[in-house]
Amino acid sequence: MLARILPRLRGAAPLLGPGDDAAMIAAPGGAFVITVDTLVENQDFRLHWPSGFESSGFDVGWKSAAQNLSDINAMGAYATAAVISLTLPHSTPVRWVEELAEGFSAAVRELGALDCSIAGGDLGRGSEVSITAAVTGALPTGKPILRSGAKPSDIVAVNGVLGVAAAGLALLDSTLPAADWTEAEAGIVQGQRRPKPPLHAGPEAARAGATAMMDLSDGLLKDGQRMATASGANVCIERGALLNDIERLEPISNALGCDPLPWVLAGGEDHGLLATFPAEADLPPGFRPVGVVQALEPGESNPKVYFDGLAQGASIGYDHFEG
C-alpha cells in the first residue's frame, strides 16, 4: 500500500525523510509553528451526498492539506512540512487512497506552499476513513500573529471568500441532482470541496503590521467572537461590507429557496483570513475592510462580535462539540 501512496505524496525536500523513525525539517530562526487537524468520514466529509455527488479521494486529500496550511498561514507563517496519518477500512479501494495522496500534494503545490515537504506518515486500519495531518511552519518576521492582538480603532479585514463553502455544502446536501447543477453551482460546490486559503497573504499581513489574525474556519461571526474574546475588545462587522459576498451566493440561495446571509456570516470551512490592522495601515493585497475593532462600552464585561451594531449570540458558526 505504502509503495502506491508514497510516490504520490510530493512536496519540497525535507532535510531527511520519510523512511526513518522521524523526519528532519529546517527551522530558520530557531523556532517553528505546528498545527494538527483530522477529517473523519461522515463527520467532516461524506463520500456519497444526497445530491448524488460522490466525493473523490482527491477532494478529501486537498481539504486536509488546505485546512492545515490555512492554520499555518493564519500565524503569519509559511508551511515547512506535513506529516500524515491515514486510517483506512479494508474496503477502501487503493485507487481512492492514491487520489487522496494526489489531492494532498496538489493542494500543497497549487496553493503555493512551495517550501512544504511531505515528510512522513503512518498508515493503519480502522472502520472508517480518517486522515490526520500535522503541519509545521516558519515565521518570516520571527514572530507569530495571534488572535489576541486586536486593538480598539483597528480595521477588521478579511481575505478570501465568505460563505462559499457553506453554500456548496447546502448544494451537496440538497436534493437538487448534481447532474443538473449549473456551471455557477458546480463552481460553488468546488469551493466547498477544494477550499483555497490565500497562503501568501498570512506572511504578507504579518509584514504589513497586522495586529491580530486567524483562520476563518468556523464562520465570520464565531471566529470574530473568538478574536474579540482573545483580544478583550469588540469586533464590529458591517453588512455594507459584505454585499458582494451576499450577492455572489444569491443564485444558489434562490435555487434552494433560502437566505444567503447565514452562509456569509456563519458558514465554516472557507479558510480565508480574518485580520486586524492599525487604522492608518494600507491593507495588503487581497484584504478588504469589513468593520472595526471597538473598546468595550462602559459596564460591558464580555467582548462581543457585533453585526451592524447588534451584539450576536453565542450560538453562531460551527462547533463539533456544541450541544
Which residues here bind its own copies, judged by CB under 8 A?
1-2, 15-16, 19-38, 40-44, 70-72, 74-75, 77, 81, 83-85, 87, 119-128, 130, 132, 134, 136-137, 139, 144, 146-148, 214-215, 230, 320-321
- Please indicate if the annotation marks 180 as binding a ligand: no
Minimum distance from CB of 92 to its own copies (Å)? Answer: 12
Minimum distance from CB of 156 to its own copies (Å)? Answer: 17
Give the C-alpha separation, 169 to 176, whole Å: 12
Q: In what order do the strands lie in the sheet with 155-159?
A: 212-216, 272-277, 155-159, 287-294, 234-237, 305-307, 310-311
Q: Which is nearer to its own copies, 61 or 260 (CB)?
A: 61
Give the C-alpha separation, 253 to 260, whole Å: 5
The answer to whether 278 and 209 have CB atoms below 8 angstroms apart is yes
Minimum distance from CB of 209 to its own copies (Å)? Answer: 18
Minimum distance from CB of 261 to its own copies (Å)? Answer: 26
Q: Which is nearer to its own copies, 34 or 296 (CB)?
A: 34
Collapse the DSSP code of 190 into the 3-class scheme (helix H, G, I; strand E, B; otherwise coil) and give the result: helix
- Please indicate if the annotation marks 115 as binding a ligand: no
Minimum distance from CB of 74 to its own copies (Å)? Answer: 4
Q: Which is nearer to its own copies, 82 or 170 (CB)?
A: 82
Collapse the DSSP code of 82 into the 3-class scheme (helix H, G, I; strand E, B; otherwise coil) and give the result: strand
Q: Which is nearer to its own copies, 33 or 170 (CB)?
A: 33
- Please indicate if the annotation marks 269 as binding a ligand: yes
Chain Cα centroid distance, residue 188: 16
Give the C-alpha separation, 108 to 103, whole Å: 9
- Please indicate if the annotation marks 122 as binding a ligand: yes
Q: Which is nearer to its own copies, 32 or 49 (CB)?
A: 32
Minimum distance from CB of 241 to its own copies (Å)? Answer: 23
Minimum distance from CB of 125 to its own copies (Å)? Answer: 5
* Dihedral sign from CA coordinates of 124, 106, 188, 263: positive
The set of residues, in sequence order, having a beta carbon less than 8 Å from that of 177 and lying 6+ positions away, is 51, 52
Q: How many other CB atoms are found less than 10 A from the CB of residue 69? A: 29
Give the C-alpha separation, 259 to 142, whole Å: 43
- Please indicate if the annotation marks 147 as binding a ligand: yes
Q: Which residues pair with 234 in a beta bridge?
A: 294
- Please indicate if the annotation marks 215 as binding a ligand: yes
* CA 275 vs CA 9, 74, 84, 260: distances in Å: 32, 9, 29, 23
Q: Which is nearer to its own copies, 82 or 171 (CB)?
A: 82
- Please indicate if the annotation marks 259 as binding a ligand: no
Q: Which is nearer to its own copies, 34 or 258 (CB)?
A: 34
Q: Which residues are part of a known binding site for ATP?
A: 121-122, 147, 217
Q: Which residues are part of a known binding site?
A: 21, 35, 37, 44, 71, 121-122, 147, 215, 217-218, 269, 318
Q: Which residues are part of a known binding site for substrate?
A: 44, 269, 318
